[in-house]
Amino acid sequence: MAEHAVLLMLALARDLRGFLQDQVERRWRFLADERPMAQLFEKTIAILGVGVIGGNLAQICKLGFGMRVLGMTRTRRDNPHVDRYFDRAALHTALGEADVVALCLALTPMTERIIDQAALAAMKPTAYLVNVARGGLVDEEALIEALRAGCIGGAGLDATAVEPLPAECPLWALPNVIITPHVAPARDRLNEHLVDFWCQNIRCFAEHAPLPGLVGRHAGY
């Protein structure tokens, strides 16, 4: 999922959608056309949800792109690749610093529509929103308006409020949006890793050891 988040980040920054359309039309557009291209190197990313997935994304961004990493998490704050942690009260401040906002959160009553109209207004007009978690984390109508008005630079969405995304949804047609059909968790060895995880849990249970991946009923994940 962290890899897929990086895919969406790069696709937005490097105008992959535009290049693919040019390829279909057999059109060669060079730098003179002032393509909307940016770099991730030394930019700032705000990761909402620095758990296993968000933690992996923090490592990739810090070591691979030299990015400044801001992280929001409910519990642990020991990831060495996060430059600064922030809490919910400081969310809008962090959003205003970020060139990329990545959603790696679980969807709970506390996080539902955490990216609302006010959050989007706090973001830079050049910033990208990337969601590889749950569509309910975003107020989709507010996002559409923000994208249309140029309040943010673009969005990479692997999760939407309604799935499959209805054909009439305006997100499909917006030029600064990249949509993938909730495939971020998919990989070629997914089943193998799932079996390994189950076996690890069975061994821990048999040995009366702490179980990995426990769900907190009160937290909701």
Report the catalytic residues.
Answer: 134, 163, 182
Which regions of 66-167 does DSSP assign to beta strands (E)?
68-72, 84-86, 100-103, 128-131, 154-157
Q: Specify the DSSP element, H or E, that contains 178.
A: strand 177-179
Q: What DSSP letter does each residue of 52-89 carry, written as one string?
A: HHHHHHHHIIIIIH--EEEEE-SS----TT-SEEE-GG
State the residue for tokens 């909402």: 48
From 14, 17, 15, 36, select the one nearest 180 (Cα to Cα): 17
Q: How far apart are CA 30 and CA 164, in angstroms?
A: 36
